[in-house]
A and B are shown apart, each in its own frame.
Chain A
């Protein structure tokens, strides 16, 4: 921030303050994403950031530089702000990585925040990830800025003459056909030699449509109101936990497919077997009964799906946000979720 640069350079003691701050830019440990690996490289042997007086150190109170390492999610944005506010003045922020600049590979993701909207940023270092040289040059650049008061380009590019006129912008062509036919198939039958599976299928037939989809894999489709009774039946057969809960959004069919992947830890033969217990619910009224009292391991997974898809699991006591930050948008993984669009003003 300009006022800190001004403070460091100003006053009668300016030269001393400037010299001390310049050679003692200590970044705080705040690793937020994969760029942190490159930061470690920049301070390990080979590049050795300590040469120029930068030392990775303790916590915010004792340092004066934040290097934001890549992507900042909504939750980490809060942490970043707290770290920045805990740090004594004068303090500086350098952002590294394409993610920190404008989202990078997570561009326009529902859970991504730009660091420059959270804290005042001094320098950006582009790259995915930036090389250690680039990072050290960022710190060096900050030193030069403290020294001279203004930021200077450290590289100059040769100028290329622009051609007259404008090239027509060629846009990618849109999708030609949108199929209305049901395109999401959960259970495709397959012939396999598997005695136990065939026996199991026989037993499960009464509950709904049971098919073998591969060796050790069985898909069982039931009506939503029969979900609980089917789960109880499976539990009686020896299956004792839910490995994963999954929701598939099929907007053009107007439905959600809720899947429970069920397996067993206690019965030896059933250990490799995975049962996909699924059921379809309407998109208008996404409600399904919860299995968390039958299989306790389903509890957290159901909460997560409730967060991401807005499917309500009736019987699961948890209401409200579980994994998402409090200010994240509703049901961001639904296919019709509209991302926030960036608007560029200009010609």
Chain B
């Protein structure tokens, strides 16, 4: 049994010439070789190491710090610094996370206890599932020709957990926040899906491999710039970034659906939007920026593709972080009106362009 598993793992391992001697050495030791084979097994590697969980955690540490630092810079401040002076306070998010971890997690009397505690954890499922389908070169969790459609479908599940969180909190601010989340959800989801389907028409398939291959000369952002724009705006709306930070709005409704969460549970729900942003940015890079294609380095072997994908994603997210410190917030009615008027119009234009370009290419 174990030996068959071992054979399965061994037959499909990530090849990295740089650390090959170390792996060869470790593979000779019993038991350790099983663990090493498991870690380097391609599906496992994709989901747990890169572009999956491990780099997701690193990314969370980075993005929270980067956003605070950037906002501070825009406001002529320094931002987090003293916690680790030599690296400009880069581990501030770690300190905050630890503090949340050891703080009391209050479940108040009015809350629906089982759901209140479960939902922050359940909300991870629709976030982690897409990662299994997003390929990076030949490092891939589950290979599917419908990967893009699947990722979009899983992303659509996240707001439902957030609305359920608001319901389980049983608090008036949480209710308002959930209603706002639902409104924003219907207003970004339609342009978002139309923009993605315009790209699917353009490439003629929902398979990321086909998409990346077709972008080998011209990236998708140039082939269909309107869809590019619509996707960015929908991404901002979907992840409650600032011009559309309507469901959370800490000045008016004190973090909306998350108002009653404390301690570790709040730590979990606070990063939801960031994780959603990560998944959407992965999809964005695959559809518009040429996916994992990039300069090939012999030494890294199979690691090239995931690394390029990750680096591009981080760059996209860092650029998006700038809007947070520069824009004021839209009112809910403005946001809904804009998205139902010109955002949908733009996405339909994008669809037409997508079909036309897809027909020519």
Contact = CB atoms under 8 A, between A and B. Distances in A.
Interface stretch (B31-39, B226-234, B259-267, B271-279): B259-267
A88 B77 contact: no
Interface residues on B, range: 20 to 34
A229 interface: no
Given A20-B101, A23-B92, A88 B78 contact: no
Interface in B75-97: 75-83, 89, 92, 94-97
Contacts of B76: 45
A62 B79 contact: no
A86 B171 CA distance: 14
Nearest to B95: A23
A17 interface: yes
Interface stretch (B102-110, B155-163, B196-204): B102-110
Interface string A28-70: 0000000000000000110010111101011101101000000
A51 B81 contact: yes
B98 A20 contact: yes
B99 A24 contact: yes
B92 A53 contact: yes
B77 A45 contact: yes
A26 B104 CA distance: 15
A45 B75 contact: yes
Nearest to A11: B102
A23 B100 CA distance: 12
Contact of B95 (A53, A89, A90): A53
B99 A64 contact: yes
Contact of B98 (A16, A89, A90): A16
Nearest to B104: A88
A106 interface: no
A52 B99 contact: no
B250 interface: yes
A90 B75 CA distance: 31
B68 interface: yes
B61 interface: no
Contacts of B83: 23, 53
Interface string B91-131: 01011111101111110000000000000000000000000
Nearest to A88: B104
B72 A50 contact: yes
B255 interface: yes
B254 interface: yes
B98 A19 contact: yes
A21 B80 CA distance: 15
Contacts of B72: 48, 50
A50 B102 contact: no
A90 B255 contact: no
Most buried by A among B79, B81, B98: B98
Nearest to B102: A17
Interface in B239-265: 250, 254-255, 259-263
Interface string A99-116: 000000000000000000
A8 to B, nearest CB: 8
A26 to B, nearest CB: 8
A88 B259 contact: no
A61 B82 contact: no
A62 B255 contact: yes
A161 B105 CA distance: 53
Contacts of B261: 61-62
Nearest to A7: B102
Contacts of B101: 20
Interface string B46-83: 00000000000000000000001000100111111111
B142 to A, nearest CB: 37
A45 B74 CA distance: 10
B78 A51 contact: yes
A22 B102 CA distance: 12
B152 to A, nearest CB: 32
A50 B259 contact: no
Nearest to B267: A62
A21 B99 contact: yes
A116 to B, nearest CB: 23
Contacts of B82: 23, 51-53
Contacts of A22: 95
A170 interface: no
A90 B254 CA distance: 21
A88 B102 CA distance: 10
A48 B72 CA distance: 9
A32 B207 CA distance: 58
Contacts of A90: 103-104
A13 interface: yes
A13 B102 CA distance: 10
Contacts of A26: 96
16 contacts: A23-B83, A23-B92, A48-B79, A51-B78, A51-B79, A51-B80, A51-B89, A52-B81, A52-B82, A53-B82, A58-B255, A59-B255, A86-B106, A88-B105, A89-B104, A90-B104
Cβ-closest 9 pairs across A and B:
A20-B98, A88-B104, A45-B76, A23-B95, A24-B99, A61-B262, A20-B99, A48-B77, A23-B83
Interface of B: 68, 72, 75-83, 89, 92, 94-99, 101-106, 250, 254-255, 259-263, 266
Interface of A: 8, 13, 16-17, 19-24, 26, 44-45, 48, 50-53, 55, 57-59, 61-62, 64, 86, 88-90
